[in-house]
Amino acid sequence: MSAHKGEQSLATVGLTKTFGGVAALDGATVSFRHGKVNALIGPNGSGKTTFFNCVTGMIRPDAGRTTYRGRDITARPPHRIARAGIGRSFQLCRVFPRMTVLDNLLVAVRPPNLPAQLAGARKREETERARYWLTRMGIDHLETAEARNLSWGQQKLLELAGVLMSEPELILLDEPAGGVNPALIDRICDLVRELNAEGRTFLIVEHNMDLVMSLSDHVVVFDRGRPIAEGPPSVIQSDERVLEAYLGV
């Protein structure tokens, strides 16, 4: 997987979304760098998750345009955006709680018809790939456990493994450290670094500022539905607009 780190990855122009007359995204024009670990931060209600939902096709923007590697993906359905090379996780883990850990990954690569998924999911190649990602996550010993019996942090790792089953080039992580114990946070950070070194681009929404500043190459700050600052962590930490948005100073 090639990674030309100077080029643009995901970008939006004038992205807008309102709910009940309130602008969750207010003409957001922003770009993220290919081959890098990007972060999107901002106070609660600043539009971060709405941004994720719009660019991944979960909701349709009212206006604006989204491109990925120069290709227009505006308002495409989620499955087409996924096929374009974009994968994402969610704040609340999306796993099948009564299915085994292994079957959760096999379902992730099957057609959208659930009976078809369950009937034909055990192809050798897919099973080997699923076990590979479980091993990378460090949860291969849990492959026969039901997902509901995993800890919250282990479910986050399982969800990430499910995202990786489709081999995305760009991975959007929505609060990967939320509710996770420190040891698993360290594991998630190590995985992001390893996967980035292998050529995958990341865009991370996260409230854990220590994680953001230690892990990211490029940080974008949202406030009231639009970017107010961007740059390397060293610059963002001392930006007066960022301090005002977070602290009101």
Q: What is the pLDDT of residues 72-129, one digit of tens each?
A: 999 899 999 999 999 999 877 788 989 999 999 998 775 555 565 555 545 788 899 9
Q: Specify whether 46 is located in the same domain as 66.
A: yes
Q: Specify whether 127 is located in the same domain as 153.
A: yes
- Percent of the chain's residues with pLDDT above 90: 68
User: What average pLDDT does this structure show over 154-171?
Assistant: 94
pLDDT over threshold 70, residue 247? no
Q: What is the mean pLDDT of the chain?
A: 88
Phi-psi region of 193 (alpha: psi -120 to 50; beta: other; left: phi over 0): alpha
Q: Specify whether 200 is located in the same domain as 145.
A: no
Last residue of a domain, one of 128, 151, 166: 166
Q: Specify whether 148 is located in the same domain as 47.
A: no
Q: Specify whether 100 is located in the same domain as 127.
A: yes
Instruction: Tell me if 161 sits within 8 A of 105, measured CB to CB.
Output: yes
What confidence score (pLDDT) does residue 2 get? 43
* Residue 126: domain span: 91-166
Higher pLDDT, 230 or 75: 230
Last residue of a domain, one of 116, 148, 166: 166
SS3 state at 126? helix
Q: Specify whether 172 is located in the same domain as 162.
A: no
Q: What is the pLDDT of residues 51-68, one digit of tens each?
A: 999 999 999 999 999 999
- Residue 104: closest CA among 69, 145, 66: 145
Q: How is residue 92 written in tokens?
A: 């609340």
Q: Specify whether 179 is located in the same domain as 237.
A: yes
Number of domains in the chain: 2
Last residue of a domain, one of 112, 135, 166: 166
